[in-house]
Amino acid sequence: MEEGVIKNSEAVFGVLIFGIILVMSFVFAAHVIALSPFSVDEDVSSLYNISVQNTDTVTTANITQVNITFPFSFSFSADSNGTDAGTHTFTNTTTVLSWDNDGLVMNGTTQYFWFNATAFTPGSYNLTIVTTNSTGPETTNISVTINDTTDPSSIEFVSPTESDNSNLSQSNIAINITATDNGVIDTIIARLFNSTKDQINSSTSATSPLFINFTGLDDGVYYFNATVNDTYGNSNSTSTRTITLDSSNPVITLIEPADSTSSTTSAYNFTFNVTDDQTISNCSLILNGSIINTLTSVNNSGGTNGMYNSSLSVATHTWSINCTDFAGNVGNSSTRTLIVSAVTTVPSSSGGSGGYPTYRPNEEELKEGYRKTMYKNWKISFKLGDDFHVFKVENVTEATAKISISSETQEATLLIGEEKKFDISGNDYYDVLVKLNSIDFTNKYYPKADFTIKTISEKIPVGEEMIEEAPMEEREEPELKEEEEKKDLTWLWIVIAIVIVFILSGIRYKKFKK
């Protein structure tokens, strides 16, 4: 009895072992799938070569169909498919490629299936390969990496980022940046530089947008830009913007007329200087509480500026200057008074602009000698040949007048009664003669000079050289020079008289001894 049981047990064990071996044969009789390559670049058509190994030894396990499915971000290249499996039928949809044949991949063999496709979006994706035989389908997923080779598509400054070349009266710079990429953004970096373009601060973010407000900044010039990098090391950068921070008001110093000045003229040149760390936008003359003139070309390095007004009535006037820089800072001067007790009208001309008259004598007047009393900055415009020229009074002092003639500017400083000839045509002929007739210094703020300007045609003597004028402090007034010459002659006559007295005394002495 026990022997029969043992024999039956052995039989059952044998069947069990056979079953295990059969099952194992199905387990190990797998379809081995391999792909080359596993990593490709985006936007590039790449060859995908898939090997299908049929390790099953049972003839009924022959693979009859191979399907390859890829993501929608892939694009199959038509007519690029192929296989070494022999006779087969190929079909495809947008994302599925199929090869069919009764013995497509025979048991114990390896066949290759290939095609070209382009991936447009970086990342990791799965290709799904389904192999089918009489026992059913078998699915394998193979991971493919699509490399990002494209720079981030955009990086730009958006509000409230400060505009390029701004002048700001503040101590901070706000920057807001957006960036996009067809892959994954790794970092956005904003950088701030000082006036020597040394980096002094930065801010980094892994997401868009990046907003940063750099604060506590001193007055001066700053630069900033931004860069975005994706996870594959591709980058894109903005342009560099320039910002000027200026929180200081312009400093104004009034020059003329002095406070409480009293005069009898209705025209004044209000002069001042202004200093500022940055460029001045404009300065305005405030007369009796109202803006009278505005100056837009301003010397802000300590030089003298002036604005003219020629309509002052008999009254006590108040005046001041205010200046605005390009950052919007406003500087206001102190207020001075100006007393006009009686009006002596300053000559005017409809040909002037900006308060400074320009006179235009005709050809005959110039030939005869055109005479005009003029103030500083007044002009005479005249034509010589085909060209126009300008005679201008640059300055008037108690004893001299500085003038200029252009287009190619020539300058001279004349004493009262002095005249000077100019070659303004460049033809080796003197064309113009200017004479300073007199100076009226009654109003020291607005002295006036009387000139005669005349057109001539005199050949410049051969070999004559232009002698540079000596500085005015080295030049003698004609009357003083004449008086000194008289003094020199007086001493000479005194010496001669003394000599004659000695001679006569000697003669008388000899006669007396005899």
What does the pLDDT look like over 169-224, one tens digit per residue?
999 999 999 999 988 899 999 999 999 999 999 999 999 999 999 999 999 999 99
Q: Which of 297-301, 394-398, 473-477, 507-511 has the lowest mean pLDDT?
A: 473-477
Q: Find all residues with CB under 8 Å of 127, minimum gap 6, and list them.
A: 35, 48, 50, 68, 69, 70, 141, 142, 144
Phi, psi at 72, each rounded to 5°: -65, -20
111-142: pLDDT as tens digits: 999 999 999 988 899 999 999 998 889 999 99
Q: Percentage of residues in the chain with pLDDT exceeding 90?
A: 57
CA nearest neighbour of 310 among 348, 339, 259: 348
Phi, psi at 108, each rounded to 5°: 80, 15
Q: How far apart are the first and last CA of the chain?
A: 209
Q: Is the pLDDT of residue 375 over 70?
A: yes
Domain residue spans of the chain: 27-147, 154-245, 255-344, 358-478
Q: Is the pLDDT of residue 18 over 60?
A: no
Q: Is the pLDDT of residue 416 over 70?
A: yes
Q: What is the architecture of the domain spanning 358-478?
A: Sandwich (2.60)
- Tell me: domain 27-147, CATH 2.60.40.1120, correct? no
Say which CATH topology domain 154-245 has.
Answer: Immunoglobulin-like (2.60.40)
- Contacts from 97-102 at CB under 8 Å and sequence distance 24+? 97/67, 97/68, 97/69, 98/65, 98/66, 98/67, 98/68, 99/65, 99/66, 100/64, 100/65, 101/64, 102/62, 102/64
Report d(CA 446, CA 442) in Å as an integer.
8
Common-topology check for domains 27-147 and 154-245: yes
Averaged pLDDT, 483-493: 56
pLDDT score at 297: 87
Say which CATH topology domain 255-344 has.
Answer: Immunoglobulin-like (2.60.40)
pLDDT score at 498: 73
User: Which residues pair with residue 353 across a beta bridge?
Assistant: 356
